[in-house]
Structure 1
């Protein structure tokens, strides 16, 4: 069971679950409550959406490890699950079941909650994760962009599920504010995920190069990969520098302090550590630090609820 939980990367699944519930309860639901109307994903349906997202992600994690067994024997032999604890045939079965249930649950939510195309988008996510694991992960940038888009979709899908209500009610529920906050958090997730995926490519350069992968660091070198990551980090830091000044206009001192201490300052520290990193262990530590910044960014939604 411990090996299986490691295979599906349970902390990442909890992260998806929290992200979607926080966005619904801190941003979507308060706006709908003010308009005295009920969102599509109210009640149990937001939990079912989060569950379907977790199932799709779990299936993607399994198939990713399935195709990476040989590479992982070099990059992280101590973390190999498939072939060591779980047979390859079982891995394929688990991937199929998780992905299938995730897609089916999306279609069921469409039917019951009057949302549009959640089942289809779940199917598209499963397809992209499969193609990423089989092909795109070994290509420069394309795989990174796919994962960054899917990470951003974790936020976007919640608003997407409410799209029929947002179009119907418009200004009555302040749809423009919901849209701005959706793009803000989705953009944050996209940029920081781009950085993390490149750092992971630098971490895995040893095994990737041995099996003829053509990732960005292998084709253009570590320095070019660091410059690419630093560029996105600088863009993120500039945007994060603006945020405290924006929220201070509303007297949200605690929110501004939180942004500075737990998102902006760690991002600057990561930028500084990026150019000093040279070993797989150092890049792994950077990847973990970036994940914590992402987590801190998502938790900032709580302040939007507190200010209602």
Structure 2
């Protein structure tokens, strides 16, 4: 029990719950209402695979970030305090392998490329921890792509591999559009959140030679970069709501404006005046809540389909 709580902190269990929730909503609210072909065992195995691979990624990130975290997040530092570095590596390897085995069990050789893709995710998380996160924007891009992949892996797993992108079937076209809509949303909001976290972690990153955008270009430039992505996201979602209105989906449009678009505008406003580590931590939490609200909007498709 003494090690359970530190271990749960190490693997960022709330983030793992978020990943599982995202994939469960995509399966139950988008895939099933469209196709009515239950493949729940496959979905559960893929969900567990994603959770294990993500948990392994968080562990290896903390393993290589022990010194930086002593400055940026001293109260959350677990490796070398509650859990020995050797055990952190062992857990990373065990969870990564378990994630790949579960992927293979879920998709079999018919979807062999998903096994290779999840192996690529394990590799990306390793190199992110060792080098990518210290390079200008590379780490942010990697994390955002991996966030989008939590949705896209379900799209590819539940699509016919021979015509996932090229099919006249209207259901397949709708499935494709919704998958990439939510993956795109996850990608952009992750870019925003990663930039905000970089501003929050400026002190430790600068001391240990990380070439993040705030370190290289300064806070002002990073704020401008973040604001541009926020404006792009707000504009895209606003246009999308006018498209949705033609179907008479008023509840979903009201939800999107109140729970996603308006909070994004408030984030944009608060970003301008943010100066302290506490300000950026609050903005980071707010963007995470916006992502959650966006993902929860999948429920409307289960209602309307």
Scaled to the shorter chain, the TM-score interval is: over 0.9
Whether 1:119 and 2:115 are equivalent positions in the alignment is yes
8 Å Cα contact 2:45/2:105 also seen in 1: no
Alignment partner for residue 22 of structure 1, among 25, 29, 45? 25
TM-score (norm: length of structure 2): 0.95
In the TM superposition, what is the alpha-carbon distance from 1:166 to its structure 2 partner?
A: 7.2
**Structure 2 matches for 1:102-117, cutoff 5 A?**
102-111=99-108, 114-117=110-113
Whether 1:284 and 2:281 are equivalent positions in the alignment is yes
Instruction: Tell me, in whole angstroms, the C-alpha distance in 2 between the residues paired with 1:110 and 1:251.
Output: 37
Deviation digits for residues 92-129 of structure 1 (CA, Å, limit 9, x no counterpart):
001010011101111122228x4342221111000000
Moved more, 174-183 or 292-301: 174-183
- Tell me which residue corresponds to 1:164: 160
Q: Which runs of 5+ in 1 are unaligned?
A: none
Whether 1:4 and 2:1 are equivalent positions in the alignment is no
Alignment partner for residue 140 of structure 1, among 133, 136, 154? 136
In the TM superposition, what is the alpha-carbon distance from 1:244 to its structure 2 partner?
A: 2.2
- Following TM superposition, the consecutive aligned residue runs of length 4 or more in structure 1 with deviations greater than 6 angstroms are none
Q: Which runs of 5+ in 2 are unaligned?
A: none
TM-score (norm: length of structure 1): 0.94
Moved more, 239-248 or 272-281: 239-248
8 Å Cα contact 1:59/1:99 also seen in 2: yes
Query: SS where residue 285 of structure 1 aligns?
Result: helix
In the TM superposition, what is the alpha-carbon distance from 1:173 to its structure 2 partner?
A: 6.0
Instruction: Tell me, in whole angstroms, the C-alpha distance in 1 between the residues paired with 2:214 and 2:91.
Output: 32
Deviation digits for residues 65-112 of structure 1 (CA, Å, limit 9, x no counterpart):
111110010111011000111000000001010011101111122228
Whether 1:95 and 2:92 are equivalent positions in the alignment is yes
- Tell me which residue corresponds to 1:75: 72
In the TM superposition, what is the alpha-carbon distance from 1:172 to its structure 2 partner?
A: 4.5
Alignment partner for residue 256 of structure 1, among 237, 253, 260? 253
> RMSD value over aligned CA atoms?
1.5
- Tell me which residue corresponds to 2:242: 245
8 Å Cα contact 2:43/2:106 also seen in 1: no
Query: SS where residue 210 of structure 2 aligns?
Result: coil
Query: SS where residue 26 of structure 1 aligns?
Result: helix
Instruction: Tell me, in whole angstroms, the C-alpha distance in 1 between the residues paired with 2:127 and 2:146.
Output: 13
